[in-house]
Amino acid sequence: MRIVIDTNLLVSGVISSGVPRQLLESTKTGEFEICTSETLLTELQTVLSRGKFATRLSLARISPTAIVDDLRTISIVVAPKSVVPVVLTDPDDDHVLAAALAAEADFIATGDQRDLLSLGSYQGIPIINARTALEQIQSRNKFKP
């Protein structure tokens, strides 16, 4: 199973506990393949470098660069052929959609209710929240031999 996790869920998973953290933790067990792109990795590093996150990460003795490097090693990094304008209110979200398409993802996990979740799907790829993503992963793993 291939999944693109939006930057907002990755940040939540890194800085706090809860469902986004559980979703990130499940990548370590090989329950699914996380897919991303260089653009999304750059966005993640930029967001994590903001003062409010950088201070928290510094106290935990981890850097935004280390987080992105770790994510890069466990991810399939795709190179979308094009980025089609779909989300007019937030063009950065078009990169999430492009990465999912290039990765042939099974779904996109996001916390972005306004722009991404409201789409419901993109070219047949469901767009779901973190809890639903975790439930999908867990239910598929129940049926593995």
* CATH number for domain 2-142, candidates 1.10.357.10, 3.40.50.1010, 3.40.930.10, 3.20.20.70: 3.40.50.1010
Whether residue 12 has pLDDT greater than 50: yes
Q: Which amino acid is at 11?
A: V
* Contact present, 19 and 131 (Cβ < 8 Å): yes
The label of the residue with tokens 């007019």 reads 88
What would the two tokens of residue 66 be?
A: 């280390």
* Contact present, 47 and 41 (Cβ < 8 Å): no
pLDDT band at 17 (very low <50, low <70, confident <90, very high): confident
Q: Report pLDDT digits (tens) over 86-119.
A: 998 899 999 999 999 999 999 999 999 999 999 9
What would the two tokens of residue 111 be?
A: 């916390």
Q: Is the pTM of this model over 0.75?
A: yes
Taking each continuous run of H as one helix and of E as one strand, the counts in the chain are: 7, 6
Under DSSP, the state recorded for 62 is -
